[in-house]
Structure 1
Amino acid sequence: MTMPPRRFLLAVTAGLALAAGLDPIPAAAQSAVALTGRVTSAGEGAMEGVVVSAKKAGSKVTISVVSDASGRFSFPAAKLGSGDYALRVRATGYELDGPVSVDVVLAVTREIDLKLRKVADITPQMTNAEWIASFPGAPEQKKFLYGCVGCHTLERIAKSKHDAQGFMQVMKRMATYANNSHVERPQVRVVARDPMRDFGPDSDKQAAYLATLNQSSGSWSYPLKTLPRVAGKGTRVVITEYDLPRKPLLPHDVIVDRDGVVWFSQFDEQFLGRLDPKT
């Protein structure tokens, strides 16, 4: 069966917002700009690949764009209406040098430059991919970690202080939870099963390995690695996010139909969700 042109499948991680739009910016639309500016820092000067997000006061929608090679970002006028917007950024290792808000007025291009500063601790910003890249060991040794990220982040492991025996107890407890459990909503199985079924015959080796990654012996013995920011054509996008009505709501297997309506399954509950971006 041929898939309709506007239908696509997204893998959505747990969070408070559902990314339902990822739209390339047509060249003609770039001339109608509601908000623009440059992103800079003392260490890098103009910064490419910084995600700049704007959320209107009282709104449930966040619009994000990405800075180009000159550090410039631009929000299309079609995406921002008049109102007071709070701005935030996403660039691992950096944060805004203080809160920033701007008053957007219809048919007027506002300009605001954003200055970033280094963060004292990058770990809350690191993705699971960056944690895996940072962890020492061969790819085969790390492979089992891919099964951890559906329920919690790898930061949770890295910041723990369990020794190998402690991790074995954690793994046994985890085996009592159903597959659709999440750290904010663990679901105990009706019938407990052998943890060896989930972690395999090498669970003791896995536990010993995990104890070398965390802070059981003090600080980490390995450098923290981050992925490069997006560059070039990858910066020419507009991302639309919609706040979800409650927490934890965990969208999974997202599909957008030919009418632009978003359908998704709920990771840890038995229901189908529907989101109409027009309303």
Structure 2
Amino acid sequence: MTFEQQLEQLSAILIRAGREIIMPAYALAVQTTRKADGSVVTETDLACQHFIEQELLKIDPKIGFLGEEMSQAQQLNCLQQRGGTFWCLDPLDGTTNFATSFPGFSISLALIRNGSVELACIHDPVRSETFSAFLGGGAFLNGQSIHCSEEVELSNSVGFIDFKRLQKETASRFATEKIYRSQRNVGSCALEWAWLAAGRGQFIIHGGEKLWDFAAGSLLASEAGCYVGDFFATELFPTSSLSSPILATCSRSLQAELKQQLRCEPPI
């Protein structure tokens, strides 16, 4: 099966999960509970993860599975012990948005093989937009090729910035100084990655995204022409960690300037 055919298969699974599980629940009053890390979870997160995991088992039962709604011990075991090949899923990225009727959430799925993201699919069930990519093959929106913005001036750039996960001094500087044109925080990391890839913004700054937040999006953005890494411009993969700071930009010049603004020095 070609990469294109595999992406069609994955897209169909995510579209079905969005149509049959997420959107019907979105119209109802949603009950949330808090996880150990303080984030919220709903029955829809759990139902969506179960459905997608079962569908992926039909594709190849030998491929491992790492989902957001697993225990950290299970996640680390998959990442560090299963090693080679596994699916990485966020079944409902933007749960707080979903639970408060804000239309900004998505499903994010990646296939990681030998330390690299090979396939990526992000589905936005509200807008019926499905973003996909395969390693070396480009990025797509509903099957049509996409490319990131060609902007090179930071003063003209719109960025997706998560202030609450930045150091206090850095967050204050980015919030008060005229560094860039404007800022957004969508509340769904996967949507921000997808929109960066589609040219709807020029950069992402996040103090600590989880693996399931950036796995699919990082490939999508890279294949769309973006420069993707952490605050030191170090590549995100391969990784043995469940989280990483994120600096992703549509041009090398923006990457260099924002790295300087973040005042990062390479680790000794």
Tell me the TM-score normalized by structure 1. 0.24
Larger radius of gyration: 1
Tell me the TM-score normalized by structure 2. 0.24
Higher relative contact order (CA 8 A, sep 6+): 1
